[in-house]
Amino acid sequence: MSKPLKLGAVIITMGNRPDDLRALLDSVARQDGDPVEVVVVGNGAPVTDVPAGVRTIDLPENLGIPGGRNVGIEAFGPGGTDVDVLLFLDDDGLLPNTDTAELVRQAFTADPKLGIVSFRIADPETGLTQRRHVPRLRASDPMRSSRVTTFLGGANAVRTKVTAEVGGLPDEFFYAHEETDLAWRALDAGWMIDYRSDMVLFHPTTPPSRHATYHFNVARNRVWLARRNLPAPLIPLYLGVWLLLTLVRRPSGAALKAWFGGFKEGWTTPCGPRRPMKWRTVWRLTRLGRPPVI
């Protein structure tokens, strides 16, 4: 019998939700099976009052979500490979069930090509899952598990062979679309991604636009995502579709101004290394229900 997969968890905190963080850590500690090794990264804020056995890393400045998570990955060895799978959990989330870690182990053991699992995010009071938290176009039924082409950044599990092979999250993004960048690179390398409705993270329902730089980052990083990963003929098509979708949603004047500012910066600033995906990966994404033009 093979040994159970070893799990680690990376949690990023800004130090402003200590009670939520403690509740999340307690829920990780209650998981069935072998203990999950936890690293909490203080992104520009010191980490205090954590249970014994939880490792902490205090960063002197906020590196953004991908930058902080990359520090957490490397705390588990190069590419995170001191463990088999890493959980990435928002610091105001909570694992309501005690079998989530065991479900993760079973999923990755059963499917050697499974690289990433996206959890279902549910509101702790209503149990409802927002449509935007289902990482596929056909999102009306959040209880349906399926293969997908991206994942949710604060509620997922990643096989560390993936990060060792294709690299971590893009530091430059700071926040927004960093998961899709990693997802596309993983898919291009032959890995698969699953959305699992039975792996649940409780998280309060909040609008993404609560972040002050939301519209700017979304637009800038969308351009960077395309420039880094898409074959050249698809870049204008992908960005043109998202420009039209943004206009159809009729954002406020201030939001639209920020969006166009980010869109411009995405074209005029470095975005990191360009590694266009293979055309067969474009076809795989299309067969999975989300061609890389939307």
More confident residue, 238 or 211: 238
Cα(43)–Cα(178) distance, integer angstroms: 17
Q: Quick one: which of 212, 218, 209, 208 has its CA closest to 263?
A: 218
User: Given this model, what pLDDT does residue 55 score?
Assistant: 97
Q: Residues 214, 208: contact at Cβ < 8 Å?
A: yes
User: Once rounded to an integer, what is the mean pLDDT over residues 85-110?
Assistant: 98
Tens-digit pLDDT profile for residues 1-37 = 578 999 999 999 998 899 999 999 999 999 999 999 9
- CB 265: neighbour CB atoms within 10 A? 16
User: Given this model, what pLDDT does residue 210 score?
Assistant: 53
User: Given this model, what pLDDT does residue 209 score?
Assistant: 53
For the domain made up of 7-206, the CATH class stated in words is alpha beta
Read off φ and ψ for residue 213, nearest 5 degrees.
-100, 20
Cα(272)–Cα(261) distance, integer angstroms: 19
